[in-house]
Amino acid sequence: MSKARLQKLVEEAIVDAYGESGQVTGFYTILENDLRLPLETQILGVTAIVERVDITLQR
C-alpha cells in the first residue's frame, strides 16, 4: 500500500473525531470493520499471524 493510500484511509477514519481518543477509536473501528482476520504478515523478518487487534489508551 502506498503512503498516499494509507494517509487517505487514516483521514477517512478520523474525519469526524474529536480529540486524540476519538481519532484512535475511529481508526480502531475501521480496522475492526474492514480487516480480515486472521492474517499472516512479517514482523522483522519473522512470520506472524494476527488474530485480533486491541486498543489501549495509555500515556
Q: Please report the pLDDT score of residue 59 as a whole number.
A: 62
* 21 vs 48: which has the higher pLDDT: 48
Please enumerate in sequence order all residues whose Cβ is within 8 A of that of 59, keeping only pairs 6 or more positions apart, or say none.
Answer: none
Q: How far apart are CA 32 and CA 13, in angstroms?
A: 11
pLDDT at 49 (0 to 100): 97
pLDDT at residue 57, rounded to an integer: 66
**Could you read off the pLDDT of 3-44 as tens digits, one per residue?**
888 788 888 888 888 888 888 888 888 888 888 899 999 999
Question: What is residue 35's predicted lDDT score, i.e. its pLDDT?
Answer: 85
> What confidence score (pLDDT) does residue 41 get?
95
